[in-house]
Amino acid sequence: MSITALIAETILIGCFAWSWVVALLYRVGVLNVGLAEVAAVVHDHTAAVVFAGVLLTYPVGAMMNTVSYTLVVWLFARGINARVLAGLNVATFNEVYVYVLQHGSKQLVEEIQSFIVPVMRLSRAAAPNLFILGTVLLTWGRGPQLPYACIAICIALLALPAFYIASTDWKQEYVAAYRMLRENTHPQRHPFRRKHADA
């Protein structure tokens, strides 16, 4: 994955986090700025607002990525690993991962990482952040925020199985590559050849 794509993902995750932070600040009365005033500031100082937005969203996105990663590992890692590592003589998935990185080609690793990893990152970040956003919006009760609250919570609940499926597929791809590389690196000697070799 390119650095630009990784930065864009982190900024998007930061936007997820800032959405519920801003909603919470509005809810408790810390922010009392109208949308018209915000739009005027953005119109008059677009470059400065964009620059400040990137500076604020990137570090928050990096922190939330770490938090969401810890959360989903706690929830799902043991079950996924038990499923995909069945039959392998390894203690953890990290052994499979490092072996493929060490012995696999660059093209092989990039192929595994290319599509599934962004889905994993975004889904695991969307789940907690959008759930919190929906919960904050629900505290307003019946009103214009209610449909958005329901949408945010539904997306958050869908993001969890999306992460589970993507993470399982990702690890299965690594396990398949691990088996192939182990077979090529340590091929089993044919019995006929072994007899002649020992003769």
The letter for the amino acid at 164 is: Y
The Cα–Cα gap between 48 and 34 comes to 20
Q: Contact at 8 Å (CB) between 65 and 8? A: no
* Burial label, 81 (beta-carbon count in 10 A; 0-12, 13-18, 19+): buried
Residue with tokens 């990702």: 170
- What is the SS3 assignment for 42? helix
Nearest to 116 by CA among 126, 124, 104, 127: 124
DSSP 2: -
The DSSP annotation for 99-165 comes to HHHHHS-HHHHHHHHHHHHHHHHHHHHHHHHHHHHHHHHHTT-SSTTHHHHHHHHHHHHHHHHHHHH
User: Angle of helix 3-28 relative to helix 106-138, nearest 10 degrees?
Assistant: 10
Q: Contact at 8 Å (CB) between 180 and 108? A: no
Per-domain residue ranges of the chain: 3-189
The one-digit pLDDT tens for each residue of the chain (199 residues) are 567 778 888 888 988 898 888 888 888 877 776 666 666 666 666 777 677 777 888 898 899 989 998 998 898 988 999 999 988 888 889 999 999 999 888 888 888 887 688 888 889 999 999 999 999 989 887 778 888 899 999 999 999 999 999 999 999 999 999 999 988 765 554 444 444 334 3
Length of the chain: 199
